[in-house]
Structure 1
Amino acid sequence: MKNPPNYLVRSVDHALQLAVMLQVEGPFGVGEAARRLGVAPSTAHRLLAMLVYRDFAIRREDHLYAAGPVLSLGGSSQSRTALLRSIAMPHLAALVERVQESANLQILSGDHVRFIGSVECTRALRVGNREGMVFPAHLVSGGKVMLADLPPERLDALYDPEKWGDRLDQRPNLAALRRELRNVRDRGFAINAGKTESGVTAVGRAVRGEDGRALAAVSVSMPTSRFSRDRLPELVSALSLTARDIEEEMGGAGRPAPATAPYGS
């Protein structure tokens, strides 16, 4: 279970957010970094310079910053994740408008999920930004809907006791997990009721690729005091609309543009 530290060191938090952006989204400039963090360009420049110094980033000839040796990922994975996030963010914002709760975009990374996009609602009592955070997949609503979509042999491989080493005490009971994931498949959504943060409840739904497999998940998170089973139809419906819109746009982005008819034809 994760709770924010009592004394948040803002500059460290900002540097870590930038590192995650570099790793999962690809190159960006000082202006974009400043906008995303809500800081002055001079502050963003200093943070990026320190990431370069420690090999978390490199500064390219076009003055954009990219992931350095410490963070480097394969180019195809990086560009795909960046495309997914850029398409999804406006739809997350629309989801927040619909339900007045915070919304997130997650991807599966082994037996964990990474939050690659987050939009906070404006209510005084709300769940904060989760972007860049990593949680065990079997505990998170979005993680559950993505795990539920895996072939049985892939699920077995993820939770093979031999791979967990000194984390064996954190490994879920696989028989119980399979039963829960069957329910998730039947319902089409998953709930996380305080498993990763006390007082927070989340509902998640898969975002599917053109092959029908889950490529990501969208979720809404709220204080448990505002959640009730009566809200589920509204939340699931809103998540379904958001997932559908992201899926349609991702599908269009992956297809070649139609040929233009010759003039005068």
Structure 2
Amino acid sequence: MAKPMKNPPTYGVTSVDHALQLAVILQVEGPLTVSEAAQRLGVARSTAHRLLSTLVYRDFAVRNEDRTYRVGPVLEIADRTQSNVAAVRAAALGPMRALVDTLDETVNLSIRTGRTVRFIASVECAQALRVGSREGMVFPAHQVTGGLVMLAALDDEELAALYAPSPTGGSEERPDLTRLRTELRAVRQSGVALNLERSERGVVAVGRGVTDSGGHTVAAVSVSMPSVRHSPHRLNEVVAALTTAAGAISTALGNGNPDPTRA
């Protein structure tokens, strides 16, 4: 049976950033409704509907019979990976908000895919001078706090295999493995990764790992702050609160309960 002809939307989408965010959410988290899309982006339902309709038109999304939207042919490789990102994000949001309330600094959640890290959730603090949301952004794992936390969960053989030269060469940046191993040993010993303007000038971040029911590190939660508010004395407070949040997320994942407040 032939596919019906698709008509282009009668409007123009001006927020490319919002459209890209939705494409990322569909790719790594799975289906969502118009209302969920509107809530995630902080826009009206009508705006979310227009964005999703445009993604459908360009084959980045498909509308299901139950009116949810899922990844389309352009991004459907994500369907084959069966990512558990949505479960991790759902388990983390409550503890992340509590952590922001405690420290009044921005909190991020990230996962690792190979040599890269993707930020899958951000909760911003209310301070005028703050680190903005990183949700949807991708960085080399060795350059960011969460990446260091998750790389530290690998042994030396796994790390060497991960950063083995590509047979086809390529221009991808590779870290100094001797230096990286030294850094990761320190992260393993303390359980915490400290990023002093490593990935961004003027920003300090502290991260801890999130584990699943099998004790495997599946994500990292981190606190990001302007460097002017960082001090060795405050670091103890940040690490203590961060440890509580990471533990709450891990417990929620282990219990299969995405909302630890309902445990």
TM-score after normalising by structure 2: 0.88
- Counterpart among 224, 236, 245 of residue 242 in structure 1: 245
> In the alignment, residue 198 of structure 2 is paired with which amino acid?
K
SS in 1 for 2:171: helix
The aligned counterpart of 1:262 is: none
Q: CA deviation at 1:33?
A: 1.0
- Counterpart among 177, 180, 190 of residue 180 in structure 2: 177
For the pair 1:56 / 2:60, whether they are aligned, the reply is yes
In structure 1, C-alpha distance between the alignment counterparts of 2:250 and 2:91, rounded to whole Å:
9
Alignment map for 1:36-47 (pairs within 5 Å):
36-47=40-51
In structure 2, C-alpha distance between the alignment counterparts of 1:228 and 1:10, rounded to whole Å:
41
> Once the two structures are superposed, what CA deviation does each residue of 1:229-253 show, in whole Å capped at 9, x if it has no partner?
1111111111110111111111111
The aligned counterpart of 1:108 is: 112
How many equivalent pairs are there?
244
> Once the two structures are superposed, what CA deviation does each residue of 1:75-98 show, in whole Å capped at 9, x if it has no partner?
6633x2111111111110001011
The aligned counterpart of 2:141 is: 137
In structure 2, C-alpha distance between the alignment counterparts of 1:194 and 1:54, rounded to whole Å:
39
Q: CA deviation at 1:151?
A: 2.3
Instruction: Give aligned-pair identity as a percent.
Output: 56
> In the alignment, residue 247 of structure 2 is paired with which amino acid?
R
> Once the two structures are superposed, what CA deviation does each residue of 1:112-171 show, in whole Å capped at 9, x if it has no partner?
111111100011111111111111111111110110111222111111122683225x21
- Counterpart among 77, 99, 118 of residue 82 in structure 2: 77
Q: Which runs of 5+ in 2 are unaligned?
A: 1-12, 258-263
For the pair 1:119 / 2:123, whether they are aligned, the reply is yes
Contact 1:120–1:129, Cα closer than 8 Å, also in 2: yes
Alignment map for 1:1-265 (pairs within 5 Å):
11-72=15-76, 73-74=78-79, 77-78=82-83, 80-162=84-166, 165-168=169-172, 170-253=173-256
Q: 1:40 to 1:71 in 2, by over 3 A?
A: same
In structure 2, C-alpha distance between the alignment counterparts of 1:250 and 1:152, rounded to whole Å:
27
In structure 1, C-alpha distance between the alignment counterparts of 2:151 and 2:219, rounded to whole Å:
11
> Once the two structures are superposed, what CA deviation does each residue of 1:194-241 show, in whole Å capped at 9, x if it has no partner?
222221111100011222221110000011111111111111111110
In structure 1, C-alpha distance between the alignment counterparts of 2:66 and 2:212, rounded to whole Å:
33
> In the alignment, residue 205 of structure 2 is paired with which amino acid?
A
Contact 2:71–2:79, Cα closer than 8 Å, also in 1: no
Q: Which runs of 5+ in 1 are unaligned?
A: 1-8, 255-265
In structure 1, C-alpha distance between the alignment counterparts of 2:250 and 2:211, rounded to whole Å:
6
In structure 2, C-alpha distance between the alignment counterparts of 1:75 and 1:96, rounded to whole Å:
34
In structure 1, C-alpha distance between the alignment counterparts of 2:216 and 2:38, rounded to whole Å:
35
Q: 1:88 to 1:48 in 2, by over 3 A?
A: same
> In the alignment, residue 94 of structure 1 is paired with which amino acid?
A
In structure 1, C-alpha distance between the alignment counterparts of 2:198 and 2:20, rounded to whole Å:
24
Contact 1:92–1:242, Cα closer than 8 Å, also in 2: yes
In structure 2, C-alpha distance between the alignment counterparts of 1:237 and 1:247, rounded to whole Å:
16
In structure 1, C-alpha distance between the alignment counterparts of 2:240 and 2:80, rounded to whole Å:
35
SS in 1 for 2:166: helix
In structure 2, C-alpha distance between the alignment counterparts of 1:115 and 1:163, rounded to whole Å:
29
TM-score after normalising by structure 1: 0.88
The aligned counterpart of 2:8 is: none
